[in-house]
Every structure is written in C-alpha cells, then in structure tokens.
A and B are shown apart, each in its own frame.
Chain A
Amino acid sequence: MADLTLRDVRKSYGGMEILHGIDLDIASGEFVVFVGPSGCGKSTLLRCIAGLEDITSGEMHIASERMNEVSPSRRGIAMVFQSYALYPHMSVYDNMAFSLKIAGEKKVEIDRRVRQAAERLQLTAYLDRVPKALSGGQRQRVAIGRAIVRNPKVFLFDEPLSNLDAALRVATRIEIAKLKESMPGTTMIYVTHDQVEAMTLADRIVVLKDGKVEQIGTPIELYRRPANLFVAQFIGSPAMNILPATCEANGEGMLVRHAAGGAVHMAMTPPTGPAGGEICLGVRPEDLFVAAGTDGLFEGRVDLVEQLGEVQLVYLDIGRGAPLIAKLPGNQEVARGSHLRLDVRPGHLHLFSKEGHSIARRETS
C-alpha cells in the first residue's frame, strides 16, 4: 500500500503544459529524490504535492484520501524551502512555534515540542535570535526545525542545500540522512540536481525530464540498468560514453561493432525492429581498463589527462566524434599523446536502441 500516490498528474500554466502525466507511488517512510535538469518541473511537482499549486488534472492521494482539493496545511505535509523562508521579524523560537500557535496548541505543549526540536538540531543556544543573526547552516536547521515540530507525515525539501558551501553541504547531507533514520515513519521527498545527494540519500530516485518521469528506481538500479540514454547519461559522473554501433547475429549470440571500429561478441539475441542492426553502445568511464597486449575494444591517442589523485580521467581520441572518457586508477602511468588500448567486460556494456531505450539482456559477466 503506497502512502502517497500520483495518478496521471498534469500541470499547466496558461496553455503551457509543464507536467505531462506523472504516475508515482511512494511508500510510507520512504526517502524519494527527484532529480532532473533545470526547468524539468521538479519544483512544480513538489509544489503540486504540497498544495501550493493546484493540479490541472489527475489525482493525488495520501493514505488513500484524495488530496486535490485539500488545503496545504491539512495535508500533513511540511516543506523546507530553498530560500529557507524564515520569518525575519520573529525569533528562532517563534519561527518554530508559529504553526503550533496557529493550530491553537497549548503553550506548554508548544514549548515542549519547540525545545525538543531545538535540542535535536542543536539550536537551543539560538532560540532567542532572529534569523538575520544566524549563519547559513543554522538557518537551514531552523527551517528543518520549523518543519519537524509539526510532526508531518510527509516532508518536502526543495534543493535545501544549494545555498550552502561545499563543506557545509556534506555535513548537512549527513544530518539529513540521520534525521531520516530517526523518523522512520515519515515520508521524505527531496528535490536536487546534485547526483551525490540523490545517490547517497535516496531509497528511490525519480528521474524527470521535460515534465515526464524517465525512470524510477533505487540508486543502484539507475546506475546499473538505466532505462534509456537520458538516465544513462544523467546518472554517473563523468557521464557514460555513448557511441553509435551496429549488431549482427553471430553464432550463439551477436557481434556488436562500434563506429570507431572495435567489435565485441555478446551472448544475446540481436534486437529486431525497424532500425535493424543500428544501436547505441554505452560504456561507463569507470568500467574501462587498460587492455593487455593487442586486444581491447577501443584504441586511440591520449588527448588529455586530468589527474585527480585517486583517479585520473583520460580523454582518448578514438577517431570518431567526442573523445572517450576513461576513469583509470591514479597511480597508472598514462602519458599525454601516447597510444592506448582500453577494454571493458562485455557484461558492463549498455546497449540502447536508436530511439534511446535500453535493450534488455541477460546478466553475464
């Protein structure tokens, strides 16, 4: 039983449709992350769930109760805004107490819950300050505190870390992970375009593009078995290398030959379809390794080496289109301008049809 469901949810502004039919089931207690390029509708979808925007068509349910017409505050949802949106004229205490005061809670109860939340977020020392007198990280925690005092069923975050510097972002990310652990019954939906946040925090990731869901799955599913070219290139850094290729039946399996000339035998039946043997071949940079002797699927001249210490990114000019990027161990000797052969295990290859859909295959290694 999913706790939050969206059925064919559409959203238009004026005549422009921004969300084109979103279907989503989120189980209660799950941590779901929306990722996607800028302008794909992540914030819009989140605001529709919050009730800050009306849904143009489709249905939304929380715990099997239809939510389309329910006002934002009655949905049992709390939201942490990207800008924090703290009330500038109120102290931290009053910021956190605001929703409880509106709800008419007793003073004692308000005090208990605010202090409890403050304790948990290490804000007790700052309760009397106004938001202006806090650092970015502290404001962020107040914004979270304001949300947790309400005991929401669903927690929404819209890019909560984007205003923080790199170090604080990592620290706060860990805080959020801990927060999630301490609230096992609370569903969390988190918008980001930072892959690392998505991969580390999510139980499941929803990849959006142009107002459509491209794929839903656990982080490792998206990484290992992307449903299409877009997801394949969006998840993982640096992005997956994609090359045009052809395939033909070859004995037990098929022979895949990529545009730069290399060929590999794969134990699967070739796809049938209008495009016939034309496919796209995907290789993750981290799956490539330096080939022994004279084999290797790819060969070319090293164009550029980016040494990152632990690993190095090698840009290999294979004579066709964009350079092939390989992530090799940092201690391997690779000279710029030298000739290099790279190989990959057939099981790590990704095949996509001309239209960009993943071609299913048996797991082999």
Chain B
Amino acid sequence: MSAPSASHPAGQVNVWAVVARTFLLALLVCLGIVVLYPLIWMALNGFKDNSQIFGDPFALPAGWSWANYVQAWNQGVRNYVTVSLIVTVASGICTVLISAWTAFGLTRSRMPMKPIVVGFVLGGLMLSPTVALIPLVKMLQSMGLYNTYWALIILYTAFRVPFTTFLIRAYMLDLPRDLDEAATMDGASEGQVFWRIILPLCRPIIISCVILHVLFAWNEYLFAMIFTSGADLQTLPVGLTSIMARHGTNYAVVFAAMTISALPIVVIFFAAQRYFIRGLAEGIGK
C-alpha cells in the first residue's frame, strides 16, 4: 500500500546487486558445466556402442543397456577396484594416524631442537617421487616387498605423511593448550589426551586429509605401475591402461571402466565436501 517513494536510491543498488548475483551465478553454472560435462559424457558413452560413439558422439545413448559396464566389471575392473580399495584404505588409515600422532608430538611435547625436527618432517614435502624411484625399487626388492600390497601401502604412506602432518599440525596449533592441561589435571595420560581430546577435536581436518589421501592414492599411477607387475595386484589407473591396450578398439567398454573407477571418488567427495572445505579453511586460515 504505502510503498515508500524514497526508495529510488535503494532500488538502484538493488538492480546492481541483482545483476552482480546473476553474473556470479552464471559464472558458477558455467564452471560447473565445464567440470561435470566430460564426466557425464564419459558415463553416457558407456551405454553406447562404437558406431554410436563415432557417429554421433554428443547424442544421448539409444538404449540404457548395462552390457558394457558388466563386461568391463568382469574383465578386470572388479579386481582393480579391490586392489585400489585395499591400498587406499590401508594407506589412508596409516597416513592419517601417523600424521596425527606426529603432529601431536610436534605441537604438544617439549623436545629439544623442535624446529629442526619440524623441518625434517616437513622437508619430506620436497622429495620428488621420481627422483627416489630407483633406490626405492632396489630397497623394496631386497626387502621382498616388491609386487605386494605392502609396497604401495608403505610408499603411499611415506610420501603422504609430510603433507598430512603439515595440515594437521597447523590445525592443532590453533587448539587451546588449556584443554590439554585440563585433561592432564583430570588424570589423562598423553595418549589419552590424544585419543580422547585432541583427535576428536581435529575431526574436520582429519576428514579433509582422508579425502586428499583418497584422491591421491586412488589416482596414483607412477608407483602403482612400477612396483606391481602381476595383473592381480594392479590398481585402477594401471589396470585402466591395460584395459585400453586390450580393448583398444572397443571404446564403449573403456568408457564404462573409467566411469566405474571415477565413481567412488565423486561420491566420497560430494558426501564429505562440507567438512573438506571447512577443515582446510580452518587449518590454514587464522
């Protein structure tokens, strides 16, 4: 009824705000399309056959037949998924626990020459996997771990601990010391302080670290290719290349295999992305 006539300046501001919002929204939608479209396209092509893929690459599939997916699954992908799962889960647990415990020591204990120890641990970030490759092959061969799950689990853990420690340490530095002291007064040992107080409070960053580790371990190619040789020990990235070699001409099956291998990551990321962003922002910010 009594719409204020003096709303002219406010109206103008509103117009600009709407324009800016629309622009931002459009930009985000475009970005989303750029990221998602290739994935969707790949999944869709898994439902086609070769002639459809080449004849009309951007059309929807003619029918929704799971045949290609079933074939890919049965011809090795099941095996690769199992290996990748074992390696990723085992190395993920090892990495996060070792890193959290290290970060706890680096932030909470009184040790001599702590800066040097911190530098030493974080210095691992500088080590390039490629450079270490040949000594590692020799070492693992002489230890009898070559071509076992352990080779990948140990290597993934070793190479990810510095970075994960770095993230968790930054987060722990921000947790108030009073909490440790209160728990100490309450009778908790250092181990109990870690398990019952500090680790639960680090949940956001731990979740971020788990996701980062899964992304790494699931997609890692170099070590997986070099340290495993048997088909029963190949992880997904390595397995996919061998599928490509075998089914070189049957692209539909290759697309189906790729879709299966990407699926877990996508699901995990979407399920946990809220924590993921928060953990990283809290740990590094402030």
Q: A: which residues have CB within 8 A of B?
A: 50, 52, 72-73, 77-79, 81, 83, 85-89, 98-99, 102-103, 146, 150
Contact = CB atoms under 8 A, between A and B. Distances in A.
B201 A88 contact: yes
Contact of A73 (B176, B179, B187, B201): B187
Given A88-B201, A89-B201, A102-B192, A146 B178 contact: no
B185 A52 contact: yes
Contacts of B181: 52, 79, 81, 85
B186 A50 contact: no
Given A52-B184, A72-B185, A99-B187, 8 more contacts: A52-B185, A85-B182, A87-B182, A89-B201, A89-B203, A98-B183, A99-B186, A102-B186
Nearest to B196: A98
Nearest first, the 10 closest Cβ-Cβ pairs linking A and B are: A73-B187, A85-B178, A99-B186, A85-B182, A102-B187, A89-B200, A83-B178, A81-B178, A79-B185, A72-B185
A79 B201 contact: no
Interface-central residue, B176, B181, B192, by most chain A CB under 10 Å:
B181
Nearest to A78: B185
Interface residues of B, number: 17
17 contacts: A52-B184, A72-B184, A73-B186, A78-B185, A79-B182, A81-B181, A83-B178, A85-B181, A87-B183, A89-B200, A89-B201, A98-B186, A99-B185, A102-B187, A102-B188, A146-B182, A150-B186
Contacts of A85: 176, 178-179, 181-182
Q: Chain B interface mostly helix, strand, loop or mixed?
A: helix
B197 interface: yes
Interface in B227-280: none
A87 B184 contact: no
Contacts of B182: 79, 81, 85-87, 146
A52 B179 CA distance: 12
Nearest to B201: A89
B205 to A, nearest CB: 14
B279 to A, nearest CB: 15
Contacts of B203: 89
Contacts of A81: 178, 181-182
A83 B178 CA distance: 8
